Chain A
Amino acid sequence: MSKFDSPAGINPLDQEKVLARPHARKEGPLKVTGQATYAYEYSADPDLQGTTYGYLVGAGVARGQVTSVDCSVAEAMPGVLLVLTHENMPAQGASDTPVPQEDDATPQMRSAEVDYYHQAVAFVVAETFEQARAAAGALVIEYDNRTAEGDYVLAEVMEDAEKAGSDEESKDQQVGDFAGAFRRADVQLDVTYTTPYQSHAMLEPHASLAVWDEAGEELTLYTSNQMVHWVHRGISKTLNVPQKNIRIVSRYIGGGFGSKLMFYGDAVLSAVAARTLGRPVKCALTRPQIFNHTSHRPATVQRIRFGADGDGRIHAIGHDSYSGNLPGGSAETASHQTKLLYAGENRLVRQRLSELHLPPGGSMRAPGEAVGMLALECAVDELAEKLEMDPIELRVLNDIGYDPEKGPERPFSSRRLADCLRRGAEEFGWEQRSAQPGERRDGEWLIGLGVASAFRGNLVKPSSATLRLEKGGKITVETQMTDIGTGSYTILGQTAAEMLGLTLDDVEVRLGDSEFPKSSGSGGSWGANSAGTGVYYAAEELRKKIAKAAGYDPKKAVFKDGEVWEDNKCTLLGVVAAKAPEPLEATVNATFGDLNKQYAQASFGAHFCEVGVHRVTGEIRVRRMLSVAAAGRIFNPVTARSQCLGGMTMGVGAALMEELHVDGELGLFINHDMAEYHVPVHADIPDLDVIFLEELDDKSSPLKGKGVGELGICGVGAAVANAIYNASGVRIRDYPLTVDKILAGWASRSGSQGR
C-alpha cells in the first residue's frame, strides 16, 4: 500500500528517457495484423470449441408489458438451442432501477415489464449466428403497449425537475448574491442553449463470450468493458455467483467513450445462456441495437447568465443545467465546470434532473464538460461581443488561479489556461479574425474564426499493479487496467521501463484480466495517471528487492541501461534474476490522499477553429483547427496527440451533426444506425494540429501528469460554433449546428441585414 498524499519530489521518472518520449503503441502491430483478440474473437482455446451464438431481441415498444412470447416456430428452426425470455430466466440479483449499473446487479428480463425501447425481451441461442438471427425474427411477441403513458421530451418535463442528487457534484454552488449582482451588472447576458442526445458510436459493438467450467460453477467472461473490477462485481451480483468464481477478460477494446463503463444484455444473457446450455455462448449487439439498448449522452437545456462590469470583469455567473433520465438514472452534470473555470464573486450553479422514459442515459466522453462547455464557451463569446472585447482577452481577464468558491486557500495545482489561449492565438493567426461577423470572404465562402477554452477536471483512482523481474532481465507488468485505444499498454510500459532503467521493448504489459491486481480502469481520463501510479509504486518496491538481491543499498541504487548500480559497482538485471532464489516481484496498491481537496485540479487548453459558411447555401465546412493543451506531463506525445485529434473530431461531430433524434410519440431514438446517426468522416475533418505546453503537476500524481483523453473534446464544439457565428452572423443556440439552422437564422434577420 502506497499513498500519494504529498506533492511528488524528484523521482526517476523525471529522467524522461522513456516516459514523455514519442513511442508508437506497443500493441499496434497486433491490431493491424488482426492478432489482437477482441471479446468476440476468442476461439483457439479448447474450452471454446463448440461456441454458440446468442442474438438479443429488444423490446418493440418503449413502455408496457410483454403479454406473450410464442417461441414455437423459433424453437423448431434449424440449429436453435435455447430461447430465453423473462419466463425462463433463472433468479438474478435485484436492482431497483432499469438503468444498467457499473458495478452492481443489472438483471436482464427480470420481469415482463418493458422500461425502454430495445430493452432485452428475449435471447435466442443457436449453432450459428445466422440461425440465431433468423429464429429471433420468428419470435412472436405480444405487448400490452403503454408507450403513450411515458414522457420522452425533456422540454415537457423540465418544470418538474429536481435536484440531481446528494453527492458533491450535484450540490448547488451558491456564492455571494448572484441575483443582486446580476441585476446590478453593467452588462448582462442571459441565454439558453440546448444540446442533443448523442451516441458513443464506438467502432467495436458491445460483445461478450461466456464459458463455464463443467460443473457450471466457474465463469470466464470475455467482454468489451472499460472497467474490469466494476463488471467483475456487477456480474457477480447479477448472477449471484461469488466473484472468486468469475474471471473477466477484456484485453482489447475497440473504443468505449463511457458506453462500456456499464454492462448490458450481451454480457448477462451470454453468461446465463452458457450456463443453461453447458456450452460457450457469444453475443455482439447489432449496430441498430446499440443506440437504444445501451447508454447515451443525455440531452441538456442550459441557461447561462453573466453579469459583468464595463471593463469585462465578471461579477455574477449563473449556470442551470437540466437533463432527464429513467428512474434511478443520473443527471448530465453540464454546469459542473462553471464552478471552477472563471472568476466571479457571485455564483449560482445548479443541475436539475427530470424523469424521462427514453433508454438509459450515462457517461459519454467528458460527461458534464463536453456539453457544458458547448454552452458556456459560446456564452462567453456572446458576452465578449456585448462588451466589444476580444474573446481571448475576456477569458484571460477572468482567469483565476484558485477555486472561486473556496478562495485562495484552494489554489489550482497547475493552470495554464491563459498561456494556452495566448500561444494558440499566436500559432493560429488569431489577428486575422474580424470582430464583425461576415467580413472575411474566400470566393463563395464566408470565413470565420472561433476560440474556446478547454477544461476537464482531473480525477485519480486507486490502482494496483504487479511488476516482476523475469529470468532474462526483462519486466512484466500485470494489472486489471484496460486499454480502450488510448495507449495504456504503451504508457504503463514506459513508466515501468523508466523506473527500472530499461527500454520499452524490455517490458511486457499484460492488461484487462481480473486475475491481475485491481486497477483504476479506463474512464474519466483518470486511467494513465492512476494506473501509472500503481506501476510507479510497484516499481519502487521492485527496485528495492532487486537492489537487495544484488547486495546493494536500496537507497543508493541507481537503475540504468539494464543494470542496477551502486556507486561504481553494477549488475545486469538478468544476472540478478538468475541468481535470485525466488522470482522477484512486487504488488502494490496505490491510493491517493486529499491533495485533490487541497488543490483544485484540472487540465486546461484552448481550441481554435476556422470555418467557411457558403454564402448562398449556408453549408458549413471546418477549414482548420488547433488545440493547445496543458495537462501536466505528457506521458507519450504520440498517443496523447491521437487522443486530442480524436477529441477534436468528436467535437466537430458534436458541433455539426451528432444527434439522436427522439420520436416523442413512440419513445425511442429513431435514427438508430450509422447511416443516419452521423459522425464525422474524413471529408469533414481538415488539417488538425495539437500543441502541448510544458507542465509538471506534482500534486496530481508521482507521474506529474493530468488527464488528457477528454480534454481534447471539451470546448471544441464551441470553438466551431463561435467560428460559424463569426463567419455567418448567425448565433445558433441549439446543437448541432446544421444547415437548416443557418438558413433559419438568415431568414429571421433578412431585411435588417440587406447585404
Chain B
Amino acid sequence: MKAFEYVRAEDAAQAPGLLAEGGKYLAGGTNLLDLMKLQIEAPAQLVDLNRSGLAEITETEEGGLKIGALVRNTDLAAHPRVRQEYAVLSRAILAGASGQIRNRATTGGNLLQRTRCPYFYDTNLPCNKREPGTGCGALAGFSRPLAVIGTSEHCIANYPGDMAVALRVLDATIQTLKADGSRREIPIGDFHRLPGDTPHIDTVLESGELITSVTLPPPLGGQHIYLKARDRQSYAFALVSVAAVVTDSGARVAFGGVAPKPWRVESAEARWNEGAQAVTDAAFKDARPTAQNAFKLDLAQRLVQAVMNETQSAGTPEGGAA
C-alpha cells in the first residue's frame, strides 16, 4: 500500500470539490482497501464518504425507492419494501459476500466492484485491465470463472457482483454528481462498459463523478427469483447467476458472472414462452467462450429452466435431457 492523503467529506455536495488529482472516493472499502494493499490500486488521496449522508432509503413520487449511495448492503437487503416488492434485489444481495462484508459494503461502492480475474489480482502477471498494454493472461490461461460474452481480444474479465444484476432487471437508474456540480442520471444498463480496447475503464463515470443514489422504478409485482450457481454455497462469486422477475405480462431476466457487466438482452426476454433455450440462445447469440468456460452457456440455460420450473411448477423437463 502506498502512502495516501486522507480527507473526510462531511456532506456529499462537498465531496467532488475535495477530490484531488489521482484521488478516489472511499465508501465501504471492502474492495478498494484490498486492492490498495496489493498495490493494484494506488490512489494518491482518499475522500471518505462515510459521514456524507446518503445513507437513507426514501420513497419516490412515482412510488419507487431512492437508495442513498451509502446505504449498506445489509440494510438494503433487509428493508421491508425491498423484501416485499423488490425481492430479487434482496435475494441477490444476500447471495453475495458474507454478513460481515455486507455490513460494510455500500450500494454505490458495490456497483464499482472490480473484477476478480486472478490475473488482475497479481501485479506480476499480464493484465490489460490493471496495466494497459501488458496483455491478457487469462485468454490463453485460466479462464474458467471469466466472461463468455461482451469480451474483447484484450480482456475477458467479468463483473463479479450480484446486486447490480438484480438492479439491471429492475431497470434502476443511477444518480451522480459531477465535479463541476452538475448532476446526471445513468440507466443501469449504460453504467458498466464493455472492455473493447480500453478494458481498464469499467464504467461510464467521469473523473471525480460521485454516485449519490440509485433509484428503483415502481414495483413490477410478479415472482422474483435470484439463482446463483457457484463452486461453494457461500462466499464465492457466481459461475452464472440469473435474476428474474416473472409477471403475467412477461419476464425480465439478467445474468451475472458471464460478462463484463450484468447481462440483459431485452429481445431474449420476449422469447420467454418459447422455453429456456430460446431465451439463452438469444441472450448469448454472440458469445465467445473459451474451452474452459463454455459450460457457462449450458449452465445459464439450465438456470433459466430452473426459474421457469419454479414459476410454472408443473410439467418440466428433466436434468439429463434439458
Interface residues of A (CB under 8 A from B): 60-61, 130, 133-134, 137, 288, 438, 444, 446, 613-619, 621, 656-657, 661-666, 670-673, 675-676, 678-684, 728-729, 738-740, 743-744, 746-747, 749-750, 753-755
Once the chains are docked, how many angstroms separate the CA of A60 from the CA of B122? 9
Return the CB mask of B95-138 against A: 1 if under 8 Å, else 0: 00000000000000000000010110110110000000000010
Taking a contact as CB atoms under 8 Å apart, the answer to whether B320 and A749 are in contact is: yes
Q: Render B222-246 as a binary contact track against A, CB cut-off 8 A, 1 for contact.
A: 0000010101111111010000000
Please indicate the chain B residues that have their CB under 8 angstroms from the CB of A682 in the complex. Answer: 234
* New A-B contacts (4) at CB < 8 Å, excluding given A618-B299, A665-B140: A675-B116, A681-B233, A740-B299, A753-B320
* Bound Cα distance from A747 to B302, whole angstroms: 12
20 cross-chain CB contacts under 8 A = A60-B124, A130-B1, A134-B2, A288-B122, A614-B306, A617-B305, A617-B319, A661-B142, A666-B141, A670-B118, A670-B119, A671-B118, A672-B118, A678-B231, A681-B233, A728-B319, A739-B229, A746-B320, A750-B321, A755-B319
> Quick check: B137 and A663 within 8 Å, CB to CB?
yes
Question: How many of chain B's residues touch chain A, expressed as a range?
Answer: 35 or more
Residues of B within 8 A of A676 (CB): 116, 118, 145
Question: Given that A615-B318, A616-B322, A665-B140 are contacting pairs, would A681 and B232 also be in contact in the complex, using a CB cutoff of 8 Å?
Answer: yes
Contact A670 B235 (CB under 8 A): no
Asked if residues B1 and A446 are in contact (CB atoms below 8 Å), the reply is: no
Q: In the complex, how many angstroms separate the beta carbon of B99 from the nearest chain A beta carbon? A: 11
Which B-chain residue is minimally distant from A740 (CB atoms)?
B295
Contact of A665 with B141 in the complex, beta carbons under 8 Å: yes
CB-CB nearest in chain A for B145:
A676
Contacts of B306 in A (CB 8 A): 444, 614, 616-617
Task: Judge whether A657 and B232 touch: CB under 8 Å.
Answer: yes
Is there contact, CB below 8 Å, between B144 and A743? no
Contact: B1 with A739, CB < 8 Å?
Answer: no
* Cβ–Cβ contact A616 & B309, under 8 A: yes
- Complex contact A746–B319 (CB within 8 A): yes
Residues of A near B298 (CB, < 8 A) are: 743, 747
Top 7 closest A-B pairs, CB basis? Answer: A60-B124, A740-B295, A683-B233, A615-B319, A683-B234, A753-B320, A663-B141
Q: Which residues of chain A are within 8 angstroms of B124 by Cβ–Cβ distance?
A: 60-61
Nearest B residue to A131 via CB reads: B3
Please indicate the chain A residues that have their CB under 8 angstroms from the CB of B39 in the complex: 137
Task: A616 to B298: give the CA distance in the assembly, Å.
Answer: 11
Judge if B76 is at the interface, Cβ distance under 8 Å: no
Q: Is B318 in contact with A744, judged by CB distance below 8 angstroms?
A: no
User: Min CB distance, B123 to chain A, in Å?
Assistant: 8
Chain B 279-316: CB-based contact to A (< 8 A → 1; otherwise 0):
00000000000000001001100110110010000001
Cα distance, A403 to B4, chains bound together (Å): 67
Q: Given A656-B232, A678-B232, A681-B232, are A666 and B125 neighbors across the interface (CB < 8 Å)?
A: yes
- The docked-state distance in angstroms from the alpha carbon of A134 to that of B39 is 9
Given A617-B303, A621-B233, CB of A446 within 8 Å of CB of B121: no
Please determine whether B125 and A683 come into contact, CB atoms closer than 8 angstroms. Answer: no
In the complex, A682 Cα to B232 Cα: how many Å?
10
A-B contact count (CB 8 A): 127
A442 to chain B, nearest CB (A): 14
State A678–B237 Cα separation when bound (angstroms): 11
Q: Which of B232, B317, B322 contacts A684 (CB 8 A)?
A: B232
CA distance A729 to B318 in the complex (A): 13
Q: What residue in chain A is nearest B98 (Cβ atoms)?
A: A681
A137 cross-chain contacts in B, Cβ below 8 A: 1-2, 39
Q: Is the CB of A753 within 8 A of B233?
A: no
Please name all residues of chain B whose beta carbon is closer than 8 Å to the beta carbon of A746 when the two chains form the complex.
Answer: 319-320, 322
**Residue contact B302 to A617, C-beta cutoff 8 Å:** yes
Chain A hits for B229, CB < 8 A: 617, 619, 739
Query: Given the complex of chains A and B, what is the CA–CA distance between A657 and B231 in angstroms?
Result: 6
B232–A739 touching, CB < 8 Å: no
Asked if residues B309 and A444 are in contact (CB atoms below 8 Å), the reply is yes
Residue pair B137, A666 in contact (C-beta under 8 Å): yes
Specify which chain B residues have a CB less than 8 angstroms from the CB of A671 in the assembled complex.
Answer: 118, 142
A746 to B298, CA, bound (A): 11
Question: Inside 8 A of B125's CB, which chain A residues have their CB?
Answer: 666
Of residues 209 through 263 on chain B, the ones whose CB sits less than 8 Å from some CB of chain A are: 227, 229, 231-237, 239
Contacting residues, chain B, for A673 (C-beta < 8 A): 121
Of the candidates A134, A615, A661, which one forms a contact with B1 in the assembled complex, judged by CB atoms under 8 Å apart?
A134
Q: How distant is the Cα of A662 from the Cα of B229 in the complex, in angstroms?
A: 23
| Chain B residues with CB below 8 A from A60, complex form | 124
The complex places the Cα of A671 from the Cα of B117 at a distance, in Å, of 9
Contact yes or no, B320 A661, CB < 8 A: no
Give chain A nearest CB distance to B231 CB in angstroms: 5
Establish whether residues B122 and A672, one from each chain, have CB atoms under 8 Å apart when the complex forms.
Answer: yes
- For the complex, give the distance between the alpha carbons of A679 and B140 in Å: 26
B299 contacts A670, C-beta separation under 8 Å: no
A683 and B137 in contact, given A676-B116, A747-B298, A749-B320 (Cβ under 8 angstroms):
no
Contacts of A684 in B (CB 8 A): 232-234
What residues of A have a CB within 8 angstroms of the CB of B137 in the complex? 663, 666
Inside 8 A of B145's CB, which chain A residues have their CB?
676
State in angstroms the CA–CA spacing of A738 and B322 once bound together.
Answer: 18
With the chains together, A445 CA to B13 CA distance in Å? 52
Interface string of B146-162 (1 = CB under 8 A from A): 00000000000000000
Q: Which residues of B contact A438 (CB under 8 A)?
A: 320
Q: Nearest CB to that of B121 among chain A residues?
A: A673
Q: Give Cα distance in the complex from A217 to B119, angstroms.
A: 44
Q: Are B295 and A670 within 8 A (Cβ)?
A: no
Chain A residues with CB under 8 Å of B121's CB are 288, 673
With CB as the reference atom, state the residue of chain A lying closest to B236.
A678
